[in-house]
Chains A and B, each alone.
Chain A
Amino acid sequence: EAQVTQNPRYLITVTGKKLTVTCSQNMNHEYMSWYRQDPGLGLRQIYYSMNVEVTDKGDVPEGYKVSRKEKRNFPLILESPSPNQTSLYFCASSLSGEETQYFGPGTRLLVL
């Protein structure tokens, strides 16, 4: 089954404790992206990747890092999480940046 998976689905952590949210797709997509969804703000792009070893900032990249060492994986790293990073995070992938994006199920993060 073609899908985008994210882990964990739910996470509670404390300020400053490094965490990684994994994202994996099995559709051989070149383009992958991370979004955060906040009330009243919709979905905002954090980082995106056009292909392996190619990443670029989205609209709200501060406090986040990403890597794209393999085509299927695109982890989101929070080196020192802060409460304002409490949010619902979505990973998405597509054949290219111009194609329709497929979203993962989301990761709900609470930073205390």
Chain B
Amino acid sequence: DQQVKQNSPSLSVQEGRISILNCDYTNSMFDYFLWYKKYPAEGPTFLISISSIKDKNEDGRFTVFLNKSAKHLSLHIVPSQPGDSAVYFCAARSYNTDKLIFGTGTRLQVFP
């Protein structure tokens, strides 16, 4: 059973516009959420995170929103740049474990 779901396998956005990547989770014990970015032939790199005590965290062009009641989080990238083209994984962790549960990933393509 997939506890962390990214229902859109791919997303295509024009440069300068907003990219919105979505993630849903089922486990109400998750209290910490992360987004990782992965380029081809490289390992995932940490992008941004959010604790369940917050509903928004911002870092430059990247903002993560958390809606606990809907068990949904989203990553907003604005403005999108061609260098943002990558696979984005959302991940979640519950307070009583050190395990990270990853989603299946969304491939973002930003075109000029």
Contacts and interface: CB of A to CB of B under 8 A. Distances in A.
Contact of B34 (A35, A58, A100, A104): A100
Interface stretch (B52-60, B65-73, B99-107): B99-107
Interface stretch (A37-45, A67-75, A77-85): A37-45
A48 B44 CA distance: 17
B103 A90 contact: no
A103 B45 contact: yes
Interface residues of A, number: 26
Contact of A43 (B44, B46, B49): B44
A42 B43 contact: no
Interface in B26-61: 32, 34, 36, 41-46, 49
Interface string B90-101: 010100001110
B102 A43 contact: yes
A23 to B, nearest CB: 11
Contacts of A40: 104
Contacts of B42: 105-106
B89 interface: yes
A42 B105 contact: yes
A101 interface: yes
B44 A103 contact: yes
Given A97-B99, A106-B43, 9 more contacts: A33-B100, A42-B104, A44-B102, A45-B99, A50-B98, A90-B44, A97-B98, A101-B100, A106-B41
Interface of B: 4, 6, 32, 34, 36, 41-46, 49, 89, 91, 93, 98-100, 102-105
29 contacts: A35-B102, A42-B6, A42-B89, A42-B102, A42-B103, A43-B44, A43-B89, A43-B91, A44-B102, A45-B99, A48-B98, A50-B98, A58-B99, A59-B99, A90-B43, A97-B98, A97-B99, A98-B32, A100-B34, A100-B49, A101-B46, A102-B46, A103-B44, A104-B43, A105-B42, A105-B43, A106-B41, A106-B42, A106-B43
Interface of A: 4, 31, 33, 35, 40-45, 48, 50, 58-59, 90, 92, 96-98, 100-106
